[in-house]
Chains A and B, each alone.
Chain A
């Protein structure tokens, strides 16, 4: 038998996915009911606070390329909404969530579950907020909705509170999907899902206006290819000034891009963005 996904006689149709494929259920009520009915006895949905140290954080290498692609490929000229290709929507989404975080902090608990295959606690959904944590909130505490897949127990769960079915249903803006994996029914919850519909186009427009404004110019003390089109050598007249210690530091590149696009000053020992 072949072990290659693409070799004959093996055919994997585009619809055959083995992760992040949610079970086809109807309303939120049906999904919540399904989850509470079929979860294992020792499994619970908890609400509590954990350190981001124990959550699997994704690196931002991928985001550096996405910013480059977005700015140089003029993807800010395209329409951005929930259904838009990731390469277009990821930048306005990051900018929206970064601005929201820097203004108000995280407003909703994030959804985390234990993944026994990699023996890590992973944030699902919330890959973009995962980047916000990596960039701005590392080693700090966050509020989470936590699912202990298989009934696993961690010391950090001691002060967690179990969320019962009625309480979960009472959350405003609840969006829930169920993934069947590891012999469990894993809830994927987002309490801010509805905001994407309004915020993505808003932030795409904001970025577009900023970048198309003839006064927009960027000075950077090191070479930063992302803003090549808007770079000016004149530090005094530049609308945004970026002082970056290491132009290869991916976290700082992404931070510089975000701050430049959302129009916020920023200062850390390795990066300064001045407006």
Chain B
């Protein structure tokens, strides 16, 4: 059956993933989750090794960043991009990366086991997923983990079960959505979601100021097309990018490009085996 041929019709609003159950109110959702979860299923808290998580490829992130720079989305009024999931991605990833370098992740990321792809996926938290992949050098990630279907992993022995009472008291800014899938009710938990809009607005404004400032000048030893408008010679550049890996794979190259675009905005000097970014002047981020 072809999705696009009659008599088949899927409305634009018909989603078969990421569509929450119509249960309203945080306490009501927590009640519902604990009442109807399956035997053997629990919500856990603890550290999970990065190797046990599915960390996303940087291609979708780079594609969005490319559109942001190519179409000069940094010139758009901050209020106009807050609800636009594509345009707001760059300010959001800059905000979360800056925050990550300053204080680490404030809250655990929400992870569940997806039996269809047999991976532990971060949901919600696609941007933090990228930050972890690109910048986290340590191996352990603090997680809220849901073992869909009662699956058991070795790493779960170091996790602690979070009871209903503990989850209710966990954080006043906790948001939870419930997704019915794989014959389970999968909790999607986000803490601190209330600050997202204001931070995106702040960072959109900050990025605009950075990219339109005469002091935003870049020298790089390899071609980074998206930064070409700000190229200058090494002596005059306030940001120096040195790419040390001469033969990166396509995937590694996308990681490097994403890192560069984020680091030049947040003013973070950075050194890894493949990349060195040096900021000659320092400034405060929001």
> Taking CB as reference atom, which chain A residue is nearest B9?
A153
- The range of chain A's interface size is 35 or more
Q: Is the CB of A17 within 8 A of B149?
A: yes
> Taking CB as reference atom, which chain B residue is nearest A34?
B36
Residues of A within 8 A of B76 (CB): none
Residues of A within 8 A of B52 (CB): 1
CB distance from B161 to the nearest CB of A (A): 16
> Taking CB as reference atom, which chain B residue is nearest A11?
B152
> Taking CB as reference atom, which chain B residue is nearest A184?
B180
A171 at the interface (CB under 8 A from B): no
Residues of B within 8 A of A166 (CB): none
CB distance from B172 to the nearest CB of A (A): 27
Q: Is the CB of A18 within 8 A of B9?
A: no
> Taking CB as reference atom, which chain B residue is nearest A156?
B7
> Taking CB as reference atom, which chain A residue is nearest B23?
A38
Of B21, B40, B51, which one neighbours A15 at CB under 8 angstroms? B40
Give A10 to B149 CA distance when docked, in angstroms. Answer: 13
B59 at the interface (CB under 8 A from A): no
A12 at the interface (CB under 8 A from B): yes
Residues of A within 8 A of B116 (CB): 18
Q: Which residues of chain A in 185-225 are interfacial with respect to chain B, using CB atoms and an 8 Å cutoff?
A: 185
Q: Is the CB of A154 within 8 A of B8?
A: yes
Give A149 to B11 CA distance when docked, in angstroms. Answer: 12
B166 at the interface (CB under 8 A from A): no
Q: Mark B33-44, 1 if CB is under 8 A from A, else 0.
A: 000101110000
> Taking CB as reference atom, which chain A residue is nearest B53?
A1
Residues of A within 8 A of B106 (CB): none
Q: Is the CB of B22 within 8 A of A38?
A: yes
Of B16, B119, B152, B183, which one neighbours A13 at CB under 8 angstroms? B152
CB distance from A50 to the nearest CB of B (A): 11
Q: Is the CB of B51 within 8 A of A9?
A: no
> Taking CB as reference atom, which chain B residue is nearest A182?
B16
Q: Which residues of chain B in 120-134 are interfacial with respect to chain A, using CB atoms and an 8 Å cutoff?
A: 120
Of B6, B19, B151, which one neighbours A155 at CB under 8 angstroms? B6
Q: Mark B144-184, 1 if CB is under 8 A from A, else 0.
A: 00001111111100000000000000000000000111111
Of A19, A119, A153, which one neighbours B3 at CB under 8 angstroms? A119
Q: Is the CB of B183 within 8 A of A119?
A: no
Q: Is the CB of B118 within 8 A of A5?
A: yes
Q: Is the CB of B9 within 8 A of A154?
A: yes
**Which of A20-28, A77-85, A131-139 lies at the interface with chain B?**
A20-28
Of B15, B40, B149, B154, which one neighbours A183 at CB under 8 angstroms? B15
> Taking CB as reference atom, which chain A residue is nearest B116?
A18
Contacts A1-B52, A9-B154 given: A181-B183 contact, CB under 8 Å? yes
CB distance from A137 to the nearest CB of B (A): 21
Of B1, B6, B15, B40, which one neighbours A150 at CB under 8 angstroms? B15
Of B10, B38, B151, which one neighbours A24 at CB under 8 angstroms? B38
Q: Is the CB of A181 within 8 A of B1?
A: no
Residues of A within 8 A of B150 (CB): 13, 15-16
Residues of A within 8 A of B242 (CB): none
Q: Is the CB of A153 within 8 A of B11?
A: yes
Give A23 to B118 CA distance when docked, in angstroms. Answer: 22
Q: Is the CB of A119 within 8 A of B115?
A: no
CB distance from A63 to the nearest CB of B (A): 25
Q: Is the CB of B183 within 8 A of A11?
A: no
Residues of B within 8 A of A153 (CB): 9, 11
Name A's B-contacting residues (CB within 8 A): 1, 3, 5, 8-13, 15-24, 37-38, 40-42, 116-117, 119-120, 149-156, 179-185
Given A1-B52, A152-B8, 15 additional A-B pairs, CB 8 A: A1-B120, A5-B118, A15-B40, A20-B183, A23-B183, A23-B185, A24-B36, A116-B16, A120-B1, A152-B10, A180-B182, A180-B183, A180-B185, A182-B180, A183-B17
20 sample A-B contacts, Cβ–Cβ < 8 Å, listed by A number: A8-B154, A9-B153, A10-B153, A11-B153, A15-B40, A17-B183, A18-B148, A19-B182, A22-B183, A38-B23, A38-B180, A41-B22, A42-B13, A150-B10, A150-B16, A151-B11, A152-B11, A180-B183, A182-B180, A184-B19
Name B's A-contacting residues (CB within 8 A): 1, 3, 6-11, 13-23, 36, 38-40, 51-54, 115-116, 118-120, 148-155, 179-185
